[in-house]
């Protein structure tokens, strides 16, 4: 049986993941980035964020997820498949 502390921790995690807007600390935790690196990203306007009062930083969860997916790395199988498709399309153009 789980302890009360474990159950409270699980509930806190569920509430955290259900949020749509994160504070600076929450965004750092969500992205698994140090606060100093997240600050560097925000100061360089490299990550989407909001400053409604001109001081506090907020982040939309959906935008952070999009930001995380902005530079996908293809698998070897995807690269091979694309190369085969490219070769096949060029063969048909040469005929």
Digit-coded pLDDT (tens) for 37-73: 999 999 999 999 999 988 899 999 999 999 999 988 9
Instruction: Report the distance separating Cα 9 and Cα 3, nearest Å.
Output: 10
At 94 the pLDDT is 61
Is pLDDT above 60 for 95?
no
Burial of 84 (0-12, 13-18, 19+ CB in 10 A): exposed
At 38 the pLDDT is 97
Just give the CATH number of 4-94: 1.10.1660
Percent of the chain topping pLDDT 90: 64
The average confidence (pLDDT) of the chain is 90
Is pLDDT above 90 for 17?
no
At 6 the pLDDT is 87
Tell me the H-state helices in 1-95: 4-18, 24-31, 35-43, 61-68, 76-94
Residue that wins the pLDDT comparison between 62 and 95: 62
């Amino acid at each position: 049986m789980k302890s009360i502390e474990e159950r409270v921790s699980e509930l806190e995690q569920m509430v955290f993941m259900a949020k749509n807007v994160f504070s600076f600390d929450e965004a750092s935790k969500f992205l698994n980035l140090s606060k100093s690196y997240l600050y560097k990203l925000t100061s360089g306007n490299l990550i989407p964020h909001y400053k409604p009062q001109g001081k506090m930083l907020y982040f939309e969860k959906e935008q952070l997820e999009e930001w995380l997916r902005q530079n996908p790395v293809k698998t070897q199988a995807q690269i091979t498949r694309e190369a085969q498709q490219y070769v096949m399309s060029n063969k048909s153009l040469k005929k």
